Structure 1
């Protein structure tokens, strides 16, 4: 696919006048809002707060984090989609927004109705976790229990979000009839697991490790975009390793702006985020969270979001969630 058409698909409008381009090198000229579709305390929020501190140093302006968790990301996304394309209102989220689009939670395609600024592949994983007192010690135990009593084993997900996709893939692979229930953010899921309100949940592995080490939950296995174990959680098998060969799902963090963002300004914002992500001190902090993040320039980011949107659309169709 030609670079021009990829740019068009990702919302980059080359016809925008030079007003923004002329000042692109000076961005930002005022505080920047980072709109985050997640509650404080979860993995996404933790990452963006680490980055924001360094962004302020690199860019020389404040970066205000605005948490808008309602609507499965749709409220936050609409805040950015409707914003002026000046680079001062940006969306920081992950590829779960693509899942929301393909399951009908959000009605606008992130790959075509925004400006793709940066894609940041995450090397970590998601964990299938259970509460400490449910009497489940393995994925096979969980599957067996669900098959013995259909719809009795509750699996906490964000309905029509990325965790719903992962649970659907596991159900398809295993034949286990889990009862999928809306459980909110990772912070909400951890609370529900410990309280015995749900039997299992799919949560960020980095957060789950802390609870597992404290004996507050058990990790049965991990879901990642590759078949191998997550290097940050080497004691836990991947779903593929356990025989669920199609239960693979990778995450990217992403920075999106309103459609029509000037290409020069987009390059400038991409470069600032790249300097921050690639800073050794930032990488060290992310590694401690078991969230190793790599960075892509603007062209690679456009290619990545277009390919990811296509793949997630195919998965949605396979598991019956196609919008």
Structure 2
């Protein structure tokens, strides 16, 4: 939940959607590939207790009929056999040529297929080069119908704006609800898997409420949900798409070193000296009278440490020369022309 709240602080003035469990899934696989301090830093950065716990959560989600999870490693090498003996043995693998411009299309096609065409063009050809060693992708897709569909829609103003938006409305006779001096909260159940959408409506402005919202407070709100007598609920239909630069977000949280060549222990994956150089997340959600469709994908790039670039010293103009031992000069001269 800590990762969820950290991501929730991204771009506070904009509409936002993301899947923190999708991000955790990707980074848990990266942590499996890593070792020692690199692994510890990845888990700490993404607020994961350990790999086994995340693997168990992912497996539980995979059993839900309304949720599909997938992951794939695109590499230009054969990962070590030890890697496949870990928790994420279901991750698929493909050998690719990262210098081929078509490889980006291949990765994006996989993402589109895994998210039912909701997420596209997450990887650009410019992201890939001869130093790229792996692109790890995780994907999640969710489709849920409301247990009680909304039967009435109407147009109305939102947040004082003159622009009209389409609302959906239902008079719930027995719905899970919570209220305090700070907020109202309602949980709208989906028809399957015990899943629900909890809508949290601050009584003050959203930004002020968000500053005070932490994991313990959010858990307390969820735990305090009770069946209410009757609730006349109205909410806009909406569609949101977001793309997050996870590297930038984690750098702001103090984990910039995880994305540098100093954090290079991926010895469970390869003997090459590699490091995490990029991480990106994209998500989309559509909410209407019938239910919700949502998808997300996370990509992470592992690249080879760049060789030290030699200093250029080209004597293509006049120069001096000295043959010496310490300060004792035996010969000296200049070269002016061939």
TM-score (norm. length: structure 2): 0.21
TM-score (norm. length: structure 1): 0.22
Kindly indicate which of the two structures has a greater share of residues assigned to strand: 2
